[in-house]
Amino acid sequence: MLLTVVGATGTGKSEFALDAVEALASRGIEAEIVNADALQLYRGMDIATAKLPPGARRGVPHHMLDVLDVHEESTVAGYQRRAGDAIAEIESRGAWPILVGGSGLYVSAVVFGFEFPPRDPALRARLEQQLDELGASAMHATLAVLDADAAASIDPANGRRIVRAIEAVTVTGEPFQASLPSTEPVRPTRIAHLRCDREILVHRLNARAAGFWQQGLLDEVEDLRGRGLERGVTARQAIGYSQALAQLRGELTEQQAIEAAQLATRKYSRRQVSWFKRYAADEPDPLMADAWVEQVLETVR
């Protein structure tokens, strides 16, 4: 059985998952956590990803954390393969894997078996150059001409996703949506979708983003610059990190950087909620993992 914990940023997924592990352990079932946050894959990106430090993991094994350097690109296909291997290894020892994270595409790749369209490296390179030269909005307009439905479903500011969609449509000659995962899990799965009142969540997210700077995000980012952060296609665009880089380059004041990170976080949380709405999922109280685990076990007894 694969347990999966999803939800918007700030809804308490990490603690809920740890509580679920302990609830299972109290019933004689071992469980381990598999990260499904695209940015927690990166070594050294700890503060603005809200990555649990080792001392806060309650001794529970965590997989798919700190597996990439910041200059490396994170791909859904690569994640799907490595996370799938981790899940298989956990299950081979008789334990239950718990997939935890808010990166919807990464979760779907594992749960629903995303089949990836072929790539064209030369085309991808040209499209990425156009993205740098023209910007995401212009590329989004191009995608709208090629595949209006895909353009409507992709954030106009998400340059990497736009480029991937244009590449897929061009290579396959088919709508990009045709390559998206189905809604049928590829293995026995139970999903917990954690929700939070929007007003409460917005307050929490604003405080959380401001807290990144108080926790030393600028120092972390300065260190990561030395490890190649600004060369990283994925990492340098991360919420918090891109704004901190802009501050370090003198493009934003600290207050402007914080406010930009808050705005980006709020927008991202809305997209997460929209993405996870499509899942057939339970919506347990984030503080009642034990009750959810009991509910899950009732279905497999």
Q: Tell me the C-alpha to C-alpha distance, in Å, between residue 239 and each of 20, 212, 221.
A: 28, 11, 12
Q: What is the pLDDT of residue 181?
A: 52
Amino acid at 57: R
Mean pLDDT of the 217-231 span: 97
pTM of the model: 0.84
For 110-131, the DSSP string reads IIIIPPPPP--HHHHHHHHHHH
Q: What is the pLDDT of residue 282?
A: 98
Mean pLDDT of the 128-157 span: 93
Structure tokens at 132: 């740098």
Mean pLDDT of the 231-255 span: 96
Could you report the per-residue pLDDT of 151-163, keeping only the tens digit for each? 998 989 889 889 9
Q: What is the pLDDT of residue 182?
A: 62
Percent of the chain with pLDDT over 70: 98
Give the pairing of strands 96-100 and 2-7: parallel
Alpha carbon 192 to chain centroid distance? 16
Could you report the per-residue pLDDT of 71-86, keeping only the tens digit for each? 999 999 899 999 999 9
Residues 167, 123 contacting (CB under 8 angstroms): yes
